[in-house]
Amino acid sequence: MIRETLREDVELRAGMHVLITGSGSALVDAARGGASAAVIIDGHVIQFDCGRMVMENLVKGGINPLDVDELVFTHLHFDHIASFGYFIISNWVASRQEPLRVIGPAGTARMARAMAFEGHYADVGFVEGLVRNWPPEVPGRPMDVAPFGVRDVEPGVVLETDLFKISAVPVPHFQRFGLLSLGYRVDSRHGSIVISGDCAPNDALMELATGADILIHECAKPDPDMVQGGKLTRPTSVEGPLKQHATPHMTPSWLGSFATGAKVKTVVATHLAPLDAVPASRAMSRVYYGSEPVALDIFEEYRRRIAANFSGAIHIAHDGLLLSV
């Protein structure tokens, strides 16, 4: 729960807001962290995913990471969990006094224990020693154990309080590798926000998102004619009996049609490829995104493609984007 805010333009302790804490893809981009978002309801903070730069973008947005109440994972790919171990150890060292609730699809508890205790075994020993030798006259002694609790969840209502309800549906994203991916909807007295996670167009998420105030949807795949070459720029159909599993990502044109079908008010395109990134990032991503984009301003072209099929408000995500319901 937010105890104070550094923002002067928006009071985060009242109302419902979403802060984009990462707008990038799985490939490195110095200007974009790993795709993630914080939903804030009357000061209560729910962090969705924990990729690169999440903590940096939280503090830039005026949110103390110690004030995050829940951490919710859409799925367990590396770009969505990259900062989890750092998040837990740094919260422990900084003397978080209430355990963080962590939830996600099957495998989340295994991932969390591995990243916090196995991956950071040296840090765990360091903090345990720090706690044992904490000067009794100094306030703020860290907790005896790492301050989080974790559980795997199934589709359905995964968390409900007096302030909000979080519902989840399975979404298609590399299920053939045995990983469940979830899309989430957060409902409160102020309105509703939907977080897609990574997925192709699908009926379950469209039903979940119907009538939402804000749909934050991944858009990692350019339309086929937007970039030349690369694995993720090939034409991919979502028609026919395999449409639910035809591709693991959304395109701008599909996103516009999807948002219209779901009758949402606002759409935010996120999980964006490093198409306008520094040369080294572009070079690293070339096997997936090919040569230079066809359009000079590639993300303005994203906006145009979405708008061709959707008449509501459109935002191309950037780290630090803050929207209110």
Q: Give residue-wise pLDDT tens across range 5-41.
A: 445 556 788 999 999 999 999 999 999 999 999 999 9
CB burial of 51-81 (b: ≥16 within 10 Å; e: otherwise) equals bbbbbbbbeebbbebbbbbbbbbbbbbebbb
With 0-12 CB in 10 A as exposed, 13-18 as middle and 19+ as buried, what is 224?
Answer: middle
* Residue-level pLDDT at 190: 98
- What CA–CA distance (Å, rounded) separates 262 from 254? 12
List, in sequence order, the alpha helices (H) in 72-149: 78-81, 84-93, 108-113, 121-132
Range with the lowest mean pLDDT among 138-152, 217-231, 266-280?
217-231
Report pTM.
0.94
Give the C-alpha separation, 26 to 4, whole Å: 32
**Considering only the top CATH level, what class is 16-324?**
alpha beta
Could you give the count of Cα atoms lying within 13 Å of 59 in the half-sphere of its Cβ?
6
Cα separation, 276 vs 182, whole angstroms = 29
Q: Are 191 and 16 in contact (CB under 8 A)?
A: yes
In what order do the strands lie in the sheet containing 44-48?
148-152, 100-104, 68-72, 44-48, 36-41, 16-22, 322-324
| Mean pLDDT for the chain overall | 91
pLDDT of residue 242: 38
What is the C-alpha separation between 205 and 118, in angstroms, rounded? 35
Q: What tokens were used for 101?
A: 């609730």
Dig out the tokens for 79 from the structure: 């770009």
